């Protein structure tokens, strides 16, 4: 289990202080009093930036209790009523911001259409890394994406019991591939750990959370939010479809970037494994998962669209953060701060080679 992260504001301070206090309050003790010592944190939630460092880290910390937890944190915090009430308030703020900032609508085909073709002059993070990116930028990208990829497919598994019939069968088939197709050595989480190790980075789960800015945490928090709320099951399906549609072309570019910059075969394998697999997955998700879900519950089309559009919104915000830092004059690190032992780069003023080993 990872160590708890460092707080970034009053909400994350309150959550982490509670988790460090020992077991959660017992029956008969007011959870609010026990957790917050009489403080009303609703005002802090209302005043917080829903995409900001404090709220996103507090949400991430709450969600991690449903995954691996933290060293030294009692497992009963996962279902503590007081903590769940605070989490729900933060979720509502985050969800309201997502709904506000996407176009909305109920046309699923139209929402997906823009993802199925890529303009000839398209540009983005993976284009940059493939064509002109430097080694230190590749390392930063790998470290930041580890916040999700070391739990890859876990958030999506929450939605399986919320589906029925064709949609459930098809999504379970995709998840079977994500978890290695019965081969423990090919589970995608493990392949990403191999990528990190090949690049000389820390493959430990949660190793780079403290270095990850809120724009990275938000992309992962969105999946946990959609997966843990049955009412948002269609949004999770829309997110999963959007992610799989865009993965194959971006994975192809990342494989080329890794080869150009001198990464080893264990690093390249993570992306080459996704090129063919996710091209198949996007067909299954579009036709069988989304199609099956909407045959049964057509009224959920708007939530499918929300999942697609929210995915694009948060990925675009993350890409803008990375490129704004990397393409600045002079270039700057996109990490909040370089972790101990992180390879040298512009974050600490040292020169950085554009190719591994030079």
Do 308 and 343 lie in one domain? The reply is yes
On whether the CB atoms of residues 266 and 198 are closer than 8 A, the answer is: yes
Q: Identify whether residues 250 and 211 lie together within a single domain.
A: yes
Q: Cα–Cα distances in Å, from 65 out to 4, 58, 78, 147, 296?
A: 11, 11, 5, 15, 32
Q: Which of 48, 72, 100 corresponds to the end of one domain?
A: 100
Q: What is the CATH number of the domain that holds 139?
A: 1.20.910.10
Angle at 232 (CA atoms; ends 228, 235), nearest 5 degrees: 115
Q: Enter the DSSP assignment of 27.
A: T
User: Does 71 share its domain with 111?
Assistant: no
- The predicted-structure confidence for 222-246, as pLDDT tens digits, reads as follows 999 999 999 999 999 999 999 988 8
d(C-alpha 349, C-alpha 213), whole Å: 20
Q: Is the predicted pLDDT of residue 33 greater than 50, yes or no? A: no
Residue 113 lies in a domain: yes
Dihedral-angle region of residue 235 (phi above 0 means left; psi in -120 to 50 means alpha; beta otherwise):
alpha
The answer to whether residue 4 is domain-embedded is: no
* Cα radius of gyration rounded to whole Å, the chain: 20
Q: How far apart are CA 278 and CA 282, in angstroms?
A: 6
- Domain final position from 37, 69, 100: 100
89 plus 169 within the same structural domain: no
Over residues 306-320, mean pLDDT = 97
**Cα–Cα distance measured from residue 151 to residue 147, given in angstroms and rounded to the nearest whole number:** 8
Asked whether 219 and 148 are in contact (CB, 8 A), the reply is yes
Percent pLDDT > 70 in the chain is: 91
Tally the domains of the chain: 2
Q: For the residues of 255-271, what is the DSSP string, one character each?
A: HHHHHHHT--HHHHHHH
Model confidence over 145-169: pLDDT tens digits? 999 999 999 999 999 999 999 999 9
Last residue of a domain, one of 65, 84, 100: 100
Same domain, 115 and 83: no
């Amino acid at each position: 289990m990872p160590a708890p992260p460092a707080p970034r504001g009053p909400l994350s301070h309150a959550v982490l202080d509670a988790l460090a206090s020992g077991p959660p309050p017992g029956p008969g003790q007011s959870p609010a009093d026990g957790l917050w010592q009489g403080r009303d944190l609703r005002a802090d939630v209302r005043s917080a930036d829903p995409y900001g460092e404090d709220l996103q880290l507090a949400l991430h910390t709450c969600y991690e209790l449903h995954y691996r937890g933290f060293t030294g944190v009692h497992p009963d915090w996962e279902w503590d009523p007081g903590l769940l009430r605070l989490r729900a308030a933060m979720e509502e703020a985050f969800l309201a911001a997502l709904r506000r900032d996407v176009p909305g609508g109920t046309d699923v085909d139209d929402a997906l259409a823009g993802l199925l073709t890529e303009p000839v002059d398209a540009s983005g993070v993976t284009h940059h890394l493939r064509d002109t990116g430097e080694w230190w930028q590749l390392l930063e990208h790998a470290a930041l994406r580890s916040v999700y990829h070391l739990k890859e497919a876990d958030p999506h598994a929450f939605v399986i019991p919320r589906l029925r019939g064709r949609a459930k069968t098809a999504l379970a088939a995709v998840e079977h591939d994500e978890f290695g197709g019965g081969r423990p050595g090919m589970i995608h989480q493990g392949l990403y750990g191999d990528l990190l190790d090949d690049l000389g980075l820390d493959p430990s789960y949660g190793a780079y959370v403290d270095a990850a800015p809120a724009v990275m945490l938000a992309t992962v928090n969105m999946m946990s939010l959609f997966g843990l709320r049955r009412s948002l099951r269609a949004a999770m399906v829309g997110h999963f479809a959007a992610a799989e549609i865009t993965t194959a072309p971006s994975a192809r570019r990342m494989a080329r970037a890794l080869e150009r910059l001198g990464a080893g075969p264990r690093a390249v394998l993570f992306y080459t494994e996704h090129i063919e697999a996710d091209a198949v997955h996007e067909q299954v998700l579009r036709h069988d998962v989304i199609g099956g879900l909407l045959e049964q519950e057509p009224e959920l089309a708007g939530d499918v669209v929300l999942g697609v559009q929210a995915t694009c919104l948060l990925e675009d915000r993350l890409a803008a953060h990375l490129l704004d830092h990397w393409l600045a004059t002079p270039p700057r690190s996109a990490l909040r701060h370089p972790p101990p032992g992180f390879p040298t780069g512009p974050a600490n003023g040292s020169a950085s080679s554009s190719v591994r080993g030079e």
